[in-house]
C-alpha cells in the first residue's frame, strides 16, 4: 500500500473516532485531511487543497475567529501559528467556533508533520471540587515564578507578588479585573512607548493553552508564559523571566549566522562558494519543480585566464577575479537570485523564476561590465579580459533535474569556448 493510501486509511479510522487529522509536508504544505477536520474547521470546506501552504490555511482559520481590532494583528497571528506548528511537541487546548479542541502534533519518520484534533467534553459544573472555588489562593505566593489566574473571560482573578514585579505593577495598584493585555500595555506606557506593547505579545496566544509563548517588555526584557485551563475555562498561568536566555540565544544566533556566512562565502570574491551554490541549486530546483515555474543557470568562464596568471602574476589574477565578481554581482539584482564563484576562474548564477530572455540579459550585463572595466589598473599591459557564458534555461523545471540542467549549461559553455570565446550560448528546454 502506498504511503498516501496509508495516511488516507488512517484518516478514515480517525473519522470513525470523531477525531480530525491533517498531514503536512516538510515545507508546511497541506497533503491530506479527513472529513472530521472539515467539520471542526468548516472555514476550510471547499477551499483547502493538496499543496496549499499552511500560511493560507491559517489565514482562513483566523478570518473565522477574529473580529474588530484584533484583525489588524492577523499577520502576526499567522506567524505565531506557523511557529507553534513547527515547534509543537506536546498537546495543547484551544477554543474554536464553540468547540474545545485538544491538538497533538509530531513529525513523522518520513519528514512530514501530522496534526490530530480531539473535541473535549464540557465540565458540567463551573465551580465546586477541582474548580476555582476550591483553589487555595494563598498558594500563589509560594510559587517561585509569577502566577496569574484568569476567569473564563480572560480577566485576572488573582496574582502573586512575583507576577507584579515581573510586569512593573506599582505598589498598591490592583490588577484584579484587568486583562494581561492591560498589564503589558501599562508597562509600555510607563516606558513612554505606548505603541510598542503589541510588538512582542499576541493576545490570541492566551487561547492556545499548553503552548508556551513569550512577551517582550521595555528594556529588552522577556517573559515566558505557560498556561493550563480547567474544563470550566479557569486559566492558571505561570510567568518566568527569560531575559538572559533571550540575550544568550541572540548572541548564539548571531555567531552561528556569521559562521554560516563564512562557511558559505568565497573568501577572495565575497560571492557564494561552490558548496552554497550546490545547496541552493537543489532547493531552488525542487521548489520551481513543485510549482512548474521556469528557472535558468549560467556558467561563466574567463577566457585565457591562465595566461593572465602566468604573465602578470597571481596577485593580478586575484584582482581580476574580484573585479569580475563585482560585475557578476552587479548584474544579479533580483531577490532570490544567487551568484557564486564555482571554482578557479569559473562563476555561476542561479535564476529562479527566470526565462531564457531574462537569463540572457544578465549574461549580457556581465559582459558589458567587463568590457568597460579598467583592466590596465590591474596591470598596465592588461588591455582586456573576456568571458564565455553558457546558459541552460528551463521553461518548466519539473521536466529537467538539477544535475541535468548543470550539464546542459556546461555543454553550452563548451560551445561558447569552441566557437571562438567571448560569447554567450543558450540551451533551452
**pLDDT score of 130:** 43
Q: Tell me the sheet residues that pair with 99.
A: 96
Q: Tell me the sheet residues that pair with 215.
A: 223
Q: Is the pLDDT of residue 223 over 70?
A: yes
Cα 296 off chain centre by: 25
Q: Please check whether residue 285 is in contact with residue 405, taking contact to mean a CB–CB distance below 8 angstroms.
A: yes
**pLDDT score of 234:** 81
Q: Is the pLDDT of residue 369 over 50?
A: yes
Q: Please check whether residue 424 is in contact with residue 391, taking contact to mean a CB–CB distance below 8 angstroms.
A: yes
Write the DSSP assignment of 367-391 as a string of letters: HHHHHHS-GGGT-TT-----EEEEE
By CB neighbour count within 10 A (0-12 exposed, 13-18 middle, 19+ buried), where does 412 fall? buried
Share the mean pLDDT of the chain: 87
Q: Is the pLDDT of residue 1 over 60?
A: no
Query: Which cell numbers in the block locate residue 3?
Result: 504511503
Q: How many Å apart are CA 21 and CA 115, to the nearest integer?
A: 6
Q: How many CB atoms lie within 10 A of CB 309?
A: 15
**pLDDT score of 200:** 62
Q: Please check whether residue 363 is in contact with residue 355, taking contact to mean a CB–CB distance below 8 angstroms.
A: no
For residues 254-277, one letter each, b for 16 or more C-beta atoms within 10 angstroms of the residue's C-beta and e for the rest, the string is eeeeeeeeeebbbeebebbbeebb
What is the sign of the dihedral through the CA atoms of 254, 257, 261 and 263?
positive
Q: How many CB atoms lie within 10 A of CB 192?
A: 8
Q: Tell me the pLDDT tens digit for each residue of 310-342.
A: 999 999 999 999 999 999 999 998 888 999 999
Q: Is the pLDDT of residue 297 over 90?
A: yes
Q: Please check whether residue 78 is in contact with residue 62, taking contact to mean a CB–CB distance below 8 angstroms.
A: yes
Least-confidence region, from 85-99, 121-135, 299-313, 360-374: 121-135
The full set of domains in the chain, from first to last, is 3-119 (3.30.450.20), 132-246 (3.30.450.20), 264-428 (3.30.70.270)
Please, which pLDDT band fits residue 161 given cuts at 50, 70 and 90?
confident
- Per DSSP, helices labelled H in 191-273 are 243-263
Rounded mean pLDDT, 349-377: 94
Q: Tell me the pLDDT tens digit for each residue of 109-160.
A: 888 999 999 998 754 334 444 445 545 555 676 778 899 998 888 899 888 8
Strands 424-428 and 387-394, sheet pairing: parallel
Least-confidence region, from 133-137, 156-160, 190-194, 360-364: 133-137
Amino acid at each position: 500500500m502506498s504511503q498516501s493510501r496509508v495516511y488516507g486509511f488512517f484518516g478514515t479510522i480517525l473519522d470513525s473516532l470523531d477525531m480530525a487529522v491533517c498531514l503536512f509536508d516538510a515545507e508546511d504544505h497541506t497533503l491530506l485531511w479527513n472529513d472530521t477536520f472539515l467539520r471542526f474547521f468548516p472555514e476550510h470546506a471547499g477551499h483547502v487543497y493538496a499543496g496549499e501552504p499552511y500560511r493560507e490555511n491559517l489565514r482562513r482559520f483566523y478570518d473565522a475567529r477574529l473580529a474588530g481590532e484584533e484583525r489588524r494583528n492577523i499577520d502576526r497571528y499567522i506567524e505565531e501559528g506557523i511557529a507553534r506548528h513547527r515547534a509543537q511537541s506536546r498537546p495543547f487546548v484551544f477554543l474554536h467556533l464553540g468547540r474545545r479542541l485538544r491538538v497533538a502534533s509530531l513529525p513523522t519518520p518520513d519528514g512530514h508533520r501530522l496534526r490530530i484534533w480531539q473535541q473535549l467534553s464540557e465540565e458540567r459544573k463551573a465551580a465546586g471540587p477541582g474548580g476555582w472555588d476550591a483553589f487555595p489562593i494563598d498558594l500563589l505566593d509560594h510559587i517561585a515564578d509569577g502566577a496569574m489566574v484568569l476567569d473564563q473571560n480572560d480577566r485576572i482573578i488573582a496574582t502573586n507578588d512575583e507576577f507584579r514585579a515581573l510586569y512593573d505593577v506599582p505598589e498598591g495598584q490592583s490588577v484584579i479585573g484587568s486583562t494581561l493585555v492591560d498589564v503589558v500595555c501599562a508597562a509600555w506606557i510607563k516606558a513612554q512607548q505606548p505603541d510598542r506593547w503589541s510588538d512582542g505579545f499576541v493576545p490570541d496566544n492566551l487561547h492556545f493553552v499548553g503552548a508556551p509563548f513569550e512577551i517582550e517588555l521595555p528594556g529588552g526584557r522577556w517573559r515566558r508564559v505557560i498556561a493550563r485551563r480547567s474544563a470550566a475555562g479557569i486559566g492558571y498561568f505561570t510567568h518566568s523571566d527569560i531575559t538572559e536566555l533571550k540575550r544568550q540565544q541572540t548572541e548564539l544566533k548571531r555567531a552561528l549566522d556569521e559562521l554560516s556566512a563564512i562557511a558559505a562565502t568565497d573568501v577572495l570574491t565575497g560571492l557564494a562558494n561552490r558548496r552554497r551554490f550546490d545547496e541552493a541549486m537543489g532547493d531552488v530546483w525542487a521548489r520551481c519543480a513543485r510549482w512548474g515555474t521556469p528557472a535558468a543557470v549560467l556558467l561563466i568562464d574567463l577566457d585565457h585566464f591562465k595566461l593572465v596568471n602566468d604573465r602578470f602574476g597571481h596577485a593580478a589574477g586575484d584582482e581580476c577575479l574580484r573585479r569580475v565578481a563585482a560585475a557578476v554581482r552587479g548584474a544579479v539584482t533580483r531577490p532570490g537570485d544567487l551568484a557564486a564563484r564555482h571554482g578557479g576562474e569559473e562563476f555561476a548564477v542561479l535564476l529562479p523564476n527566470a526565462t531564457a530572455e531574462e537569463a540572457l540579459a544578465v549574461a549580457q550585463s556581465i559582459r558589458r561590465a567587463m568590457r568597460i572595466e579598467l583592466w590596465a589598473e590591474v596591470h598596465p599591459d592588461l588591455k582586456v579580459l573576456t568571458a564565455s557564458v553558457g546558459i541552460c534555461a528551463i521553461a518548466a523545471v519539473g521536466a529537467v533535474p538539477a544535475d541535468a540542467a548543470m550539464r546542459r549549461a556546461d555543454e553550452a559553455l563548451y560551445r561558447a569556448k569552441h566557437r571562438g570565446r567571448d560569447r554567450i550560448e543558450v540551451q533551452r528546454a
